[in-house]
Amino acid sequence: MFELPARWTAVLAAVAAAVILIGLGLAADVGRPYPGFLSAPDFRVFPVDPDVRDAGLAFADRIVSVDGASPATLHERVRTASGPVRYDVERSGVRFSVVIPPRTLTAAHLVRHFGVYFVVSALMLVVGAFVLAQKPGAGPNRRFAVYMALWALSNVATPEAVLGLRKLTSPVVSLIGVVLSVHGAILFLTYPVNPARLAWLERRRAIPRLYAAAAAVGLATSAVVTVASFSGPETLARLYGQSIAFPVLMALASFPVKVWSLIDTRRRAGSPLVDQQTTVLLAGIGLGLGSWLLLMLLPLVQVYEPAGSPQLGSALVLLYPAAIAYATVRYRLFDATLVIRRSLVYTVLAALVAGAYALAIAAANVVLARAELARSPWFSAAFMFTVALVIQPLRSWVQNAVDRTFFRERQDHIRALQSLARSMRGLLDLEEIIRRLASTIESAMHVRDPRLYVGPPAPALSAVVATAPGAVSRYQVAADPSFGPLAADALHAYAALGADVIVPLRFQDELRGLLVLGPKRSEAPYTAEDLALLETVADQAAIAVANAEAHRQVVDYARELERSLMIRSSLAKFVPRRVHELIEASPDASLLERRETDVTVVFADISGYTRLSSRLTPDELGAIVERYFGAFLDEIVKHGGDVNETAGDGLMVIFHEGDHARAAAGAAREIHRRAAELNADLPAGVEPLRMHIGINSGPAALGATKIEGRAGTRWTYTASGMTTNVAARLAAVAQGGEIVVSEATLARLGGGIPAEDLGERALKNVDRPMRIYRL
């Protein structure tokens, strides 16, 4: 749909209005007398009519006086003359006089000498609007639209300022010319995309500085022309030549800059697409811009006499924006083979339809003996109805016949990939899918290193396939303005993978992986048909991958179920006794739900564990710890506690039934007693193990706790909350052989157990100091 943002519509409309106003200014002189020739602001003539040339005037002759008066009065003298006008003329330092009668300026004169300029400007505005409408947000498209607007204005303002009778646009032509040359150079410095050059331009802020310099120089030259127009003829002639020289030199200088930019971009990119784009653009510059410089601009400023009308150069310049527009809009690969194939198909199809029509008429005439049948509208309607029914299968048949005859290799690899797509539907082995896909693509399309990646791709590539839903070549990323700021990171990701093309694997709107292809062995580019075929293969591969992953999950689940049945009895050894009882009572684990319960939590750690681990081998240390903890477990179970967690040198025990505070204290004393017994049997040289224990009582969230992460979900049965945290801090305060309890626990024990008041202590991660006791 052709649609432009409002501000761009206003800009292009304003330029179009300016072009129309210039045309109306020229048209206002129709019907008025004019000398029979056109002249520049410095009074050098540009002969127009043949009789003027016969009278003795030649290209670039300079008018010195008109009827003996200043040449500045030329048009006034012509308008008021009642007969021929005498002109004093200078040519190569020699002066002479010519007499020429005035004549009337007609619309035919204007159309013949200015009409092409306005047609070309209108076409430029249309092309600029069309390209901009494709991608209004793309930088190259916006720059191109501005380029066309500037050029459209310059294309009519320049001949009016040089050749027009009133030269109304003279003050602005220099400004437009300088800005146009600089903007054109910037367009080719930034398109096609050249990341290294763009980075260099951005670091030095070169683009805004170039625009600022162009505006300053253009305004200065415009001011010179304005001042010169109010000066005497000699001053005007001298200043005009100086002021017009700079815009012309800028236009000539920008030509090699554009050519160099394209050649440098081609050298750096090294891609078929950029090669083709730069070839088109170089041809447009050489033919279009070169013709404009040689046939229009230089003759208009009277560097040399043109072989024909300067409007020829203006018409040929259309090759230039046409080349830019084509390269800008058609960023996908140029597929000449596809054009040839389709041309052949439709040529054969048209011949078959025409032949069938002729045969049908001949047969009807023979069978029915009615010569007027061919003129019957009913016969034509019936024939067209039949063609409509059979045209699609006929086109497919012709397409296959052309491919078999002229494009056998392409037909073969299409069939190979289609056969692959069908075969993958029944595959459930992911490795086999990947192997078969890579080998078939490699052999059919002669691709280097095709690979299939399952899973989420790199963020840069995810952004690419989110922008373009189908297959994307790296050349497309480099040239397509829609990728914009994504291009640099995406091209780096392509280079890291050695990829020329990536094809997303989507299943039910979910990206399941990427098909990555390196360059073709022939170095030929991927055509639009190649990309479409790869998208079809990728769609089938996505389904096959999804089926394979689902099958693997089912197999894994079956294996896990078998293993779970095998280790059920062994697993019970690692589950707290209370948890085991709850699960047996409620297999759906509803009794494990977290609920606030009054509990007593015990933390017990081995003093000197780190020092002991540095002196013993892991096996020796493990045997000792296992022996001690085994003895402790007997006492804990005897007192009704559940070992919730063990970690190297410590364990956490929960008591939550009956008089759990007294049970916890009794278990702690028994742990010290059993530790003392076991210490007596330690080998010589091994320091006795001493336990430091912290006990706290209070409310806690008791039950199952779910921990979720990338690796999956894990459940633990524990008591969580401040009660547990304080118990751990009390264990840290206790010394070897000590039991430290909180005030809440001591209150539950009653007065029968002696305890030493250790005062208030600040505990880590506890807001207020707590009073603690040593049993």
Does residue 274 register a pLDDT over 60? yes
Answer with the residue of higher pLDDT: 362 or 474.
Answer: 474
| Beta-ladder partners of 98 | 87
H helices of 135-232, in order, are 139-163, 170-190, 195-203, 206-229
Cβ distance 24 to 69 under 8 Å?
no
CA distance linking residue 580 with residue 582, whole number of Å: 6
Q: What's the mean pLDDT in 607-617?
A: 74
CA distance linking residue 555 with residue 557, whole number of Å: 5
Cβ distance 516 to 453 under 8 Å?
yes
CA distance linking residue 299 with residue 237, whole number of Å: 17
CA distance linking residue 445 with residue 701, whole number of Å: 64
3-state SS class at 124: helix
Question: What per-residue string of b and e applies to 686-704 under the rule 16 or more CB within 10 Å gives b?
Answer: eeebbbbbbbbbbebbbbe
The tokens for 688 are 């006795």
Does residue 331 register a pLDDT over 50? no
3-state SS class at 621: helix
User: Minimum mean pLDDT among 195-209, 396-410, 552-566, 567-581: which range?
Assistant: 567-581
Q: What's the mean pLDDT in 391-403?
A: 70
The Cβ of residue 99 has, within 10 Å, a number of other Cβ atoms equal to 12
Phi, psi of 219 (to 5 degrees): -65, -40
pLDDT-derived band at 421 (thresholds 50, 70, 90) equals low
Q: First vs last Cα of the chain: how many Å apart? A: 86
* Helix or strand (DSSP H, E) at 774: strand 770-774
3-state SS class at 759: strand
CA distance linking residue 42 with residue 87, whole number of Å: 15
The tokens for 374 are 């061919």
Does residue 380 register a pLDDT over 70? no
Half-sphere exposure of 644 (CA within 13 A, CB side): 22
pLDDT-derived band at 712 (thresholds 50, 70, 90) equals low
- At 427 the pLDDT is 67
Cβ distance 708 to 773 under 8 Å?
no
Q: What is the DSSP string of 382-427?
A: HHHHHHHHHHHHHHHHHHHHHHHHH-HHHHHHHHHHHHHHHHGGG-
3-state SS class at 85: strand
- At 713 the pLDDT is 57
Which range of 42-46, 381-385, 421-425, 590-594 scores highest in mean pLDDT? It is: 42-46
| Beta-ladder partners of 697 | 600
CA distance linking residue 486 with residue 155, whole number of Å: 37
- At 709 the pLDDT is 63
Angstrom CA distances, 376 to 290, 361, 370, 372, 381, stand at 57, 11, 11, 7, 9
